[in-house]
Structure 1
Amino acid sequence: MTEVLLKTPLHAVHVEQGAKMVPFAGYDMPVQYPLGVKKEHLHTRDAAGLFDVSHMGQLRLKGDNAAATLEALVPVDIIDLPNGNQRYAFFTNEQGGIMDDLMVANLGDHLFVVVNAACKEQDIAHLQANLLEGVELEVIEDRALLALQGPKAVDVLATLNPAVKDMVFMDVARLELLGVECIVSRSGYTGEDGFEISVPNAQAAALANTLTDSDLVEWIGLGARDSLRLECGLCLYGHDLDTTTTPVEASLLWGISKIRRADGQRAGGFPGADIILEQIATKDVKRKRVGLVGQTKAPVREGCKLFDANDVEVGIVTSGTAGPNAGKPVSMAYVRSDLMAVGTEIFAEVRGKKLPMTVEKMPFVPQRYYRG
């Protein structure tokens, strides 16, 4: 039987723009436009790219205990999240594994939460089952989500509302764009400066068309979104993160708030805390997420097995790309923890050949978030 795919409010726009559409997380999504994946990638780094990310789940948590509800499910400080700011977080399970990663914004009267498309039904059920008294979860169905990314993004968006110039990385605000109230955060998934914009469905096409009317902006598909995030060392859930991988193994210690660690005032109290805090304390994990750079020109893709110099299997690649801006093949992988040191040589099996790769610090290209 053919899967019936969902469509975002911008589906007709993508078809009109000549996008190649593919199934992704239950949606019919643009993987690339006539410009092509590599040129889309480079254009985003040089100017500005517009991404339709309306397949993501948008949620509201309301009530006096909204922050406490969420903080009990993530190893992140939500209670002290300032009004007008957002944070990266992840749901953990009782084994310390990552159920999904998400963005949480404090809009004053509620928390605005964005979760991954493939996990949103699970995440909604998880939240519903753990709501504290007086907390209401609202699934937002009437808003699209756009991401405008790249060094020229601020110049383009400022023509619609100059207030965006005053925002810095991880700020969030309700702002009027084309006469309609949008939720705008200065953040994104490319490593570049940029914005994510939650806009009512009825105005989504008008906003998208206005943005792409600028010579600085091109539509960008899932293909370039993947290579952009990988070059900047950002994980993709279901590939680099999953329920069997802890934040410590995933090299995401920066995502665990100090106040939630063993010596913090509100330490623990999230699923799998004992396991995760023990791993932080002992540094005892069998595998770690690392960056790998190819010594040949051949891209090393997800699923390639990794070997040491003695031909012993030591890990697996979880993401890989040609690295258009890095200028060399780059990959993310999980390797045996004794091989995670920068400069270590590891061999990837590609079509029966063992290709040399080197462990390198991520990101592979500099992140350029605007911090003021």
Structure 2
Amino acid sequence: MTESNQELLKTPCYDLHIEAGGKMVPFAGYDMPVQYEMGVKKEHLHTRAQAGLFDVSHMGQLKLVGKNAAAALETLVPVDIIDLPQGKQRYALFTNDQGGLLDDLMVSNFGDHLFVVVNAACKAQDIAHMQKHLPADVEIEILEGRALLALQGPKAGEVLKRLLPESADMVFMDSRVVDFAGAQCIIGRAGYTGEDGFEISIPGEHAERITRLMLAEEEIEWIGLGARDSLRLESGLCLYGHDIDQTTTPVEASLLWAISKIRRTDGARAGGFPGADIILDQIATKDVARKRIGMVGLGKAPVREGIKLFNAQGDEIGVVTSGTAGPTKGSPIAMGYVQTQYAVLDTEIFAEVRGKKLPMLIQKMPFVEQRYFRG
């Protein structure tokens, strides 16, 4: 049964999307807004200039409870979870025995439990993975029915401070449990756009009321999945299932920054995660056949996922995994993989679009400066 003809799930904000004229599409089993009346480009630019509100309630939200939760989760990710300070969150990766990526996720430490957010399309698989590998003394509590909203943009901090004054002293990657307009919410200062912002988990029964409070602020507009994708690509952020997947190692994916130093250098906590031998060997030898790179088009035509990449001699050297027109950058941008010898800044390569070879330059990511609030 395809996603389009099975019963789609609805987020707690579904009625608000309809009310706002959202164009709904099937996405990861949910009926989700791809855009609103403003359109993808204007939504993208509004987020870069003011504040956009994204419904990401299709993501998986869960708690890991138990005094050994951090040590147990650390056996599944190449990340330092044991020393994650209380009130902080960290980006993590689930790896498989081949060193490939099962998913990327966010982990927050609240002292008596970890709060974990996983990708929508991987939710069931990730939960099964944890249920299989985490010990019996770690309870996995799936948080059903909660909304998850992302407030993103340069005005996000200023706007949220009006509604929730205690958010003002949070910095990038802080996490808190707060009373937001009478509802116990989980809030993190992070996001997926490269802008300052917050992700707010709200009990389902309070979601519409609190969302309306935010939408009443003049800087805030609803933003759909279309602009979410172009914003994250300009910011050089991977989309699971496109730029990274089970066949991609963190080294190939240029995600070395996401592997904590304590998990890859000599010591008791080095390795010990699935695929560690393969990943640590790739780090040591730098021996991988392909690398993830960013590309900027030298013409006006955008290049899309699946388009093949060639060198100047016409040899196929790679593939595009994400591409967009780059509304803020002002030129087509893309992400993809090329044979390692071509993964050099300012190398000219060619994307084949409808039989034409379009020139692109390999460029550093992010394509647009990240503006996270670090205090």
Identify the TM-score tier after normalising by the shorter chain: over 0.9
How far apart are 1:133 and its partner, in Å? 3.8
Q: Tell me, which stretches of 5 or more residues in structure 1 are unaligned?
A: none
Opposite residue 337 of structure 2, the aligned amino acid is Y
- Which structure 2 residues correspond to residues 250-265 of structure 1 after superposition, within 5 A? 250-265=253-268
Instruction: Identify the match of residue 275 of structure 1 among 263, 275, 278.
Output: 278
How far apart are 1:109 and its partner, in Å? 1.1
* Aligned partners of 2:12 and 2:145 also within 8 Å: no
d(CA) in 1 for partners of 2:268 and 2:69?
A: 19
**Could you tell me which residue of structure 1 aligns to residue 18 of structure 2?**
15
d(CA) in 2 for partners of 1:264 and 1:199?
A: 40
Deviating 4+ runs (over 6 angstroms): none
* Aligned partners of 2:309 and 2:317 also within 8 Å: yes
How far apart are 1:262 and its partner, in Å? 3.4
**Could you tell me which residue of structure 2 aligns to residue 108 of structure 1?**
111
Question: Could you say what secondary structure the match of 1:76 adopts?
Answer: coil
* Aligned partners of 1:240 and 1:318 also within 8 Å: yes
**Could you tell me which residue of structure 2 aligns to residue 197 of structure 1?**
200
- Which structure 2 residues correspond to residues 347-358 of structure 1 after superposition, within 5 A? 347-358=350-361
TM-score by length of 2: 0.98
d(CA) in 1 for partners of 2:6 and 2:298?
A: 41
Question: Could you say what secondary structure the match of 1:333 adopts?
Answer: strand
d(CA) in 2 for partners of 1:367 and 1:102?
A: 20
Note if 1:27 corresponds to 2:26. Answer: no
d(CA) in 2 for partners of 1:334 and 1:264?
A: 33
- Which structure 2 residues correspond to residues 155-166 of structure 1 after superposition, within 5 A? 155-166=158-169
d(CA) in 1 for partners of 2:18 and 2:267?
A: 51
Q: 1:301 to 1:128 in 2, by over 3 A?
A: same
- Which structure 2 residues correspond to residues 222-371 of structure 1 after superposition, within 5 A? 222-371=225-374
**Could you tell me which residue of structure 2 aligns to residue 72 of structure 1?**
75
* Aligned partners of 2:67 and 2:112 also within 8 Å: no
1:194-252: per-residue Cα shift (whole Å, max 9, x none)? 00000000111111111111110000000000000000000000000000000000000
d(CA) in 1 for partners of 2:133 and 2:271?
A: 17
Q: After superposing the two structures, state which structure 1 stretch, 123-132 or 273-282, moved more.
A: 123-132
d(CA) in 2 for partners of 1:11 and 1:142?
A: 12
d(CA) in 1 for partners of 2:113 and 2:252?
A: 32
1:248-268: per-residue Cα shift (whole Å, max 9, x none)? 000000000000003244100
d(CA) in 2 for partners of 1:80 and 1:260?
A: 12
d(CA) in 1 for partners of 2:150 and 2:241?
A: 21
**Could you tell me which residue of structure 1 aligns to residue 216 of structure 2?**
213
**Could you tell me which residue of structure 1 aligns to residue 43 of structure 2?**
40
d(CA) in 1 for partners of 2:38 and 2:178?
A: 31
d(CA) in 2 for partners of 1:7 and 1:188?
A: 22
d(CA) in 2 for partners of 1:84 and 1:119?
A: 26
Calculate percent identity across the aligned residue pairs: 70
d(CA) in 2 for partners of 1:126 and 1:27?
A: 22
* Aligned partners of 1:251 and 1:289 also within 8 Å: yes
Question: Could you say what secondary structure the match of 2:149 adopts?
Answer: strand
d(CA) in 2 for partners of 1:142 and 1:314?
A: 45
How far apart are 1:88 and its partner, in Å? 0.1
* Aligned partners of 1:65 and 1:133 also within 8 Å: no
* Aligned partners of 1:68 and 1:78 also within 8 Å: yes
* Aligned partners of 1:307 and 1:348 also within 8 Å: yes
d(CA) in 2 for partners of 1:9 and 1:352?
A: 45
How far apart are 1:342 and its partner, in Å? 0.3
Opposite residue 218 of structure 1, the aligned amino acid is E
d(CA) in 2 for partners of 1:28 and 1:142?
A: 15
**Could you tell me which residue of structure 1 aligns to residue 88 of structure 2?**
85
Opposite residue 50 of structure 1, the aligned amino acid is L
Question: Could you say what secondary structure the match of 1:338 adopts?
Answer: helix
Note if 1:179 corresponds to 2:157. Answer: no
1:62-110: per-residue Cα shift (whole Å, max 9, x none)? 0011001110000000011000000000100000000000000001110
Query: What is the count of residue pairs matched by the alignment?
Result: 372
Opposite residue 17 of structure 2, the aligned amino acid is H
Question: Could you say what secondary structure the match of 1:159 adopts?
Answer: helix
1:292-324: per-residue Cα shift (whole Å, max 9, x none)? 000000001101000000100000000000000
